[in-house]
Chains A and B, each alone.
Chain A
Amino acid sequence: MTAPWTPMRWPDAWKDPATLALLKGTAIDHLQIGTGSELSAVRSRAAQDGFHVSQPGAPPAGVEIVKGQWPGVKVERRGGGGVSAGPTGNPWVDSNGWAIRLAAALHPDSAVWVDAAPAGNALVTAASYLIAVADSAAYGGRWIISLDQPLAVSLAAGKSDALAVWKRLAAAAGFFAAHKAWPAYAPMAVVGVVSDFTGDNEFFSRELLNLLARAGQHCRILPKDRITDTSFLSLRAAIYADGEPPAPALRQQILAFVAAGGMLITVPQWGEVSGTPIENERNPRYSLRALEKGKVAVAVAGPDDPYLWANESVVLVSHRYDLVRFWNSGAAGSFCTVAPDGKQVVVHLLFYANRGPDSAAVRIAGRYRLARAYTAGHPADTKVEWVPQTGAVEIHLPPVPQYVALELDI
């Protein structure tokens, strides 16, 4: 995956080409400018100034657009700062990370841009913009910077508070632009999700990816037609929840993974499963069988509720294999990647509340030598306390903003 550009949707209200001066010194290098005649002068000047220019909805070749959601914990502008709650009572987090990874899995040679404008009733702050930038960039994509109307107008008028928000936004975008190598790092995962992600399987498989991410599970997205001998390498489990049985070759590949010690979580549509029932591990919703060195968990019913599937699969696999555990983080997400040479891991930590945590701790599975923590917009690394554990390291974060990157040397 690559991220060659930092794109921005040019506000229609900015008709004066002089407004391009705001972009001077920022990482923004690709502008999506409307086609109206009132913006023709802007288009010309932008091209002269060296910006790549395209039209909204018509990205350049090599870019996949993901129609995303405004990321973060939903906070309403009115009504006492009400926060939407999910089925467990926890704040409901919207994130585009899973959609970026899916686009990358389906189009591995493309860059992925996220088109997500601030929701009309959302409370948009500098922190919201940081989350919007980081929620895409952490997963290797790029958010098409899209300003809400009041901010765009205030910026054009040169208002100082708007300029402060802009400065933070631009710094966050610049941080990711400066780490150009990170999008090429490979995702680390515990579970592989095998599907065609289309047709009748589209809703369930995509919602499963979304909800697995919210459950803190790290996934490898495995499109059915791209499975290779290394697809299941280092995974603990594979989920196959499509509505039809796998083709014979795919079935053999998955069963080979199970025979080697992996776990398959699947649906009755998978078909007959050999092996022996596991009597001492009972689950009311799954029938569990031992198969050579591995296990197969077949749902008693077909795929119905992706929320239940996501959360139950996390427990079937076990939290023992969590790549990341958080404490005092509030609504958080993470994405773990490893450098192509295997010598460095970068863990992206996202805190979706409107302020970062004061005393969060995070446990990263694995053995590492050194950690550097970076927060978006701050070029120097942040000092963190480092507590080695058995097979893991626990890192104590000082008060941090909504995004932290941990660089760990193997």
Chain B
Amino acid sequence: MSELLLEVLCEEIPARFQKKAALDFERLAGDTLSKMGLTFTACTAYISPRRLALVVTGLPAATPAVTQERKGPKVDAPDHVIQGFLKSVGLTLEDCTRQETPKGTFLMALKEIPSQKTQDVLGPIFEELLVNFPWPQTMRWGCGTKGWVRPVHSLLAIFEGAVIPMTLRFGEKEGAPTIVSGNTTCGHRFLEPRAIKVTNASDYLTQLKDAYVMVDAQARKEMITTQLSHLVQEKGLVVKDDPGLLEEVAGLVEWPVVHLGTIASSYMVLPPEVLITTMRVHQRYFALENAKGALAPFFGFAANTVTSDEGHKVVQGNERVLKARLSDALFFYTQDQKVLLEEHADALSKITFHAKLGTLAQKRDRLEVLAKKVAGVLGFDQTQAALAARLCKADLVTGMVYEFPELQGIMGGYYARSSGYGEEVAAAIAQQYQPKGPEDALPGSLLGLIVALVDRLDTLTGFCAVGIMPTGSGDPFALRRAALGIIRILENEMFKVSLPTLLGWAYDLYAPLLQASGEKILTKEATLDTLLSFMKDRIKVLWRDQGIRHDYVEALLNVVETPLSQFYSKLTAFQNFVQSSRTKAQELLEAYRRGANIVRIEEEKDGRSYADVSLQESLMGEVAEKNLFNALKRLDQTLTPLLETSRYAETFDALLSLCEPLDEFFTHVTVNAPQAEVRQNRLALLARLKVRLEKVAAFSTLEDL
């Protein structure tokens, strides 16, 4: 059993590509080897900023001989078809076997593929795999026409201690970069740049380690963690947990050497989010915390080298960079606070929300009205809601958010506080962009929920009205995320307001702007239709994972006036109802379908509707007919208070009172009676039944229970 070692040495691979590249390499190598019939015990990829490596152990010395089967045309197919097949497989008619099938006798070509030495097949398959490696982004260099993630410098390819002859060609043209395999690599760019001769995988890993290269990303992460925790312990601090940053930093160094730097106390007045963003996003520094969880005036970072002054100049340099960045931030923070947040909000008229949807000032005005309306429904302080909504986008014109766009909202919160708007408004502004994803928490207060809701309603409705909705893969304005945010907020019991009402308000607020702009826009009705079906899809996706049947969602959501918060309890009630009375419920569903069908067919025939025809008891000759009429009347009386108070379990149970009268009706009553008035009266009765049931749920969309 033998071992394969490959290493591509190249210029610095972006950190964000590394983890996936290692996984891809393992997977693709494994698949390719298996396809050749080559078994192996382990296939491990390694990645560092300058290398992508692979070790496969336990490979056999040769590929197995295999017989490949290929099915051809029928034996009685036209001659040219048979000849074509024979030519394609390189056999004569005599070489082919016959296969009997129910569809006839077919020609079958069996081709022996002889065993090949493993060392001979590895070269070609890995040349192909490496040159076409699935990097998310590639570039050309020199005279090359074929790209790779960054320019390639050498290829180490060893099988059983010997070099596998391989050539990587990055283009067809003369002078295109061409890399020929060998048995050498080199060490750390600065600490040990000499060539290293390699014989096998363990030798490779050891020698690289001696040459200051830790090619195993996991090991680099551990080096960073260990060194960092050692340094911070001395100061009684802890590292703010940040796995994403650790992953990235490990992708920026081949030999991590961790240092601590100091932050001048004058910058510690900046909000922690500003300090952390500056350190993390711009400098890839680790934020440190003291025992109380407050940000400490130090930062940790990993250099890629050991210097002769033990990092003295490196630390000094990094402190200088951070200082420059923080002094810029402090400048903006001070400047921004010279003006009240309300005044910043005035400058929103200079910023376009979207080319077709006006300025942010216009959005601000809409949000203010919308927040007031929503607060009204919720019984929440309308002035407070309007104020928070009015101010929520103001930070977009501040210097700080211009420099740090990722701090939008957060800065608004700070500036609201310093402008004296109170903690509740500040928190609502700070949390308006939550939830940012399915795992993210909702805003923590009702005011926060209102602001978050109206912002998303406005965005979604506006884009839909001008015909911009997410497509299969494209959602540049994150409308799906906005919709999910809306759904999650509206699941909250306090929001006793239906989606069409909310979307309708949002649309009405846009109407003057859109009409004045002369843009081609959707009508309110069309916008709401599109949005409701879009939202329904989002709801179905969201709840499918909870095991809720899509037709239940469809049937109950079709009832347009159900607020989402009540929808969930209604859905639960319906599920319980079906579970406890499945047979009866199914009976009811079938009776509904039967009645609805009759009404539909007769209405089509007569070219009129029976829904509004008033019922006349005097025309009801049959007992069963009268019973159904009375049952419906009683049900009407029962249902009204139940629905008004959202007592859904009782609502569904009440429907069962119709089962028996319906059964009797369909057994004893002929709907299409000879007398016209009697027939019409019966059709009207069934039409009323249909309407009544559909007010509870869209029975038409339910599949069998």
Q: Report whether chain A binds chain B.
A: no
**B interface list, Cβ under 8 A from A:** none
**A interface list, Cβ under 8 A from B:** none
